[in-house]
Amino acid sequence: MKNKEYKAKKRFGQNFLKDSSILDKIIQSRAKDDNLIVEIGPGLGDLTQRLLRVGDVKAFEIDKDLFKILSEKFQTEIEDEKLDIVRTDVIDIWNEKERQKESLVECDYHLIANLPYYVATNIIIKALFDKNCKTIIVMIQKEVSDKFGAKAGDKEFSSLGVIASYFASDIYEVCKVPPSSFEPAPKVDSSVLKIVKKDSKTIETLGQDFLGFLRLAFLQPRKKLIKNLSSKYEKTMLTSIFENLKIEDNTRPHQLDTSLYLNLYTLIKEQKEEKIDDTRKSRKPTK
């Protein structure tokens, strides 16, 4: 199958970047080291071609037709072991690796990709939690990019902003990308987002529990934070913790910064564990 014969598939969220100046900006913004580059959804290989000029690449492609095109296009690079293309749904692989407490790949890597909109948020979060991923440079919907880069007090600040600011030492927009830069053109604006991760052992202390806690906190963004949390946690416990952390009762979710969310999560978790211990002790039969 020739490239010109391939038609983008809606079910895979395929929009192929055709603007070479944007591709150049992505390459220019990369980390200048020898770490492996991971590309998710290489499509027709335009970005892949540029990535191979600066490092070794491991690519994950879900589409069998595109996998065939890429395998033929980069036959030499594959034979020279500069490129490894895996035909799979990367989310399935990542989920399995997480269950085994492993990273997507065994070495340090940089994620550089033009991500399908429908799966972009999930992939970025997985990369943030993946200790071997050092930087993330991704083309995503601008609205999602703004959420990852938002700070406390911004109207766009959400659970994504909390997670990103916890893991990242730097987050910024490399460039804006109009719909006309793609084929076919999407209906929304895009953005190239760069996230430089912290090299911290505390990264491994967080997990899906914290992510679930944040989703609950931002369940209804315009409501009071304590009201959102009280749908799962006891109101009296929350009131006590809010007073302890000097958080006003009428605080909205977007007004709390990342450090306070971490403290809030930690105290709620500690008090829940204490309550479980007390319950177990009370049930213990006396001699």
**Cα separations in angstroms, 256 against 57, 147, 159, 253, 261:** 39, 15, 11, 6, 7
Same domain, 197 and 229: no
Q: How far is CA 51 from CA 112, 166, 242, 249, in A?
A: 9, 28, 48, 50
> What pLDDT does residue 209 have?
86
The verdict on 152 and 242 lying in the same domain is: no
Residues 38 and 170 in one domain: yes
User: Does residue 173 lie in a domain region?
Assistant: yes
Note the pLDDT of residue 279.
Answer: 56
From 173, 204, 235, the end of a domain falls on 204
Distance CA 42, CA 147 (A): 24
Taking the CA atoms of 161, 103, 141 and 174 in sequence, report the sign of the dihedral they define: positive
Q: Decide which of 149, 181, 204 is a domain's last residue.
A: 204
| pTM confidence score | 0.87
Tokens 């990535």, located at residue: 51
Instruction: Kindly state whether residues 99 and 166 are assigned to the same domain.
Output: yes
β-strand 83-87 against 57-61: which pairing, if any?
Answer: parallel
Instruction: Tell me the pLDDT tens digit for each residue of 176-215.
Output: 999 998 887 878 899 999 999 998 655 666 666 898 999 9
Residues in CB range of 182: below 8 A, 6 or more apart: 15, 16, 17, 18, 19, 190
Residue 68 included in any domain: yes
pLDDT score of 1: 41
Q: Which residues on neighbouring strands pair with residue 196, listed in sequence order? A: 135, 170
CATH of the domain at 76: 3.40.50.150
Question: Phi first, then psi: what are they for 254, rounded to 5°?
Answer: -75, -10
Task: Give all strands (DSSP E) within the chain, no chain letters.
Answer: 16-17, 36-40, 57-61, 83-87, 109-114, 133-141, 168-177, 182-183, 190-197
Range of the domain at 161: 3-204
Mean pLDDT by 10 residues, the chain (287 residues): 52 70 95 96 93 97 92 96 96 94 95 92 94 96 95 93 93 94 86 91 67 94 95 94 95 95 93 65 59
181 shares its domain with 275: no
Final residue before a domain boundary, out of 138, 171, 204: 204
Q: What confidence tens digit (pLDDT) does each residue in 147-167 have? A: 999 999 998 999 999 999 999
**Confidence (pLDDT) at 206:** 67
In this predicted structure, what is the pLDDT of residue 287?
Answer: 54
Q: For the chain, how many structural domains are there in total?
A: 2
Exposed/middle/buried for residue 62 (C-beta within 10 Å: 0-12, 13-18, 19+): buried
Burial of 8 (C-beta count, 10 Å sphere; 0-12/13-18/19+): middle
E strand or H helix at 97:
helix 90-99
Q: Do 200 and 213 fall within a single domain?
A: no
State whether 69 and 185 are in the same domain.
Answer: yes
Residues 6+ apart with CB under 8 A from 128: 136, 163, 164, 167, 168, 195, 197
Q: Quick one: CA torsion of 54, 60, 65, 67, rounded to 10 degrees?
A: 50
